[in-house]
Copies of this chain bind each other. A is one copy, B any other.
Amino acid sequence: MVVSELSDQDVNRLFRALADATRRDIVRRTLVEDVSVSQLAGAYEMSFAAVQKHVAVLEEAMLVTKNSRGRERMVRANLDRIRQAQRLLDHFEELWRSRIDRLDILLAEDNPAPPDT
């Protein structure tokens, strides 16, 4: 198992990168197969440079990696990073459980067992 502590900054970048529909779509496409930057650029109604920037944001968030193939740069999504995001959300769920536990304790205190005899 990879230890990989995510700093606050890393988590910020991770969620921020996911907070844009175009970038989420790039992740989707590159999860299924490697896609070059120009192929991606062809898929959206914006300039090549704009798409390039989105890829750069994803790269900084480590949600994708780029590899050279000939003169093209192939973009590939990094599933591990998505799983790390999931684990962060799992942690929230765990915290929520502690709320339930506290509530149970409170209810037990407010509703003591009836005095015997």
> Footprint of B on A, CB under 8 Å?
8, 11-16, 18-21, 24, 27-28, 31-33, 77, 79, 82-83, 85-86, 89-90, 92-93, 95-96, 98-99, 102
Contact = CB atoms under 8 A, between A and B. Distances in A.
Contacts of A96: 31-32, 77, 79
Contacts of A31: 92, 95-96, 99
Q: Give the copy number.
A: 2
Nearest to A7: B21
A11 B32 contact: no
Contacts of A102: 32-33
B11 A15 contact: no
Given A28-B92, A85-B89, A102-B33, A15 B12 contact: no
